[in-house]
Amino acid sequence: MRIRSSFLLSATVTGFVRMLAATWRLRLHDEAQLLGPSSVRPLIWVFWHNRLLVIPIVWERFFRARKGYVLISRSRDGEILADVVKRFGGEPVRGSSSRGGASALRELQRRVLDGSDAYVTPDGPKGPRYSVGAGPLWLAQATGAPLLPVSMECSSCWRLGRWDGFIIPKPFAKIDVTLHSIHTVPPSLNDLAIKEEQERLRELMMSQTGRQ
CB atoms within 10 A of CB 79: 18
Residue bearing the bigger pLDDT, 3 or 70: 70
The closest of 116, 106, 182 to 142, measured between CA atoms, is 106
- The string of pLDDT tens digits covering residues 133-151 is 989 999 999 999 999 999 9
* CATH code of the region 2-206: 3.40.1130.10
Hey, CA dihedral for 36, 41, 44, 49, is it positive or negative?
Answer: positive
- CA distance linking residue 71 with residue 174, whole number of Å: 27
Per-residue model confidence (pLDDT) at position 100:
57
- At position 113, the amino acid (one-letter code) is L
Least-confidence region, from 1-5, 102-106, 124-128, 182-186: 1-5
Strand segments, DSSP code E, in 31-173 are 44-46, 68-72, 91-94, 117-120, 147-154, 157-159, 167-169
Q: What percent of the chain has pLDDT over 90?
A: 64
Per-residue model confidence (pLDDT) at position 66:
92
CB atoms within 10 A of CB 127: 14
Asked if the model's pLDDT at residue 20 lies above 60, the reply is yes
Report which DSSP code applies to 129. T
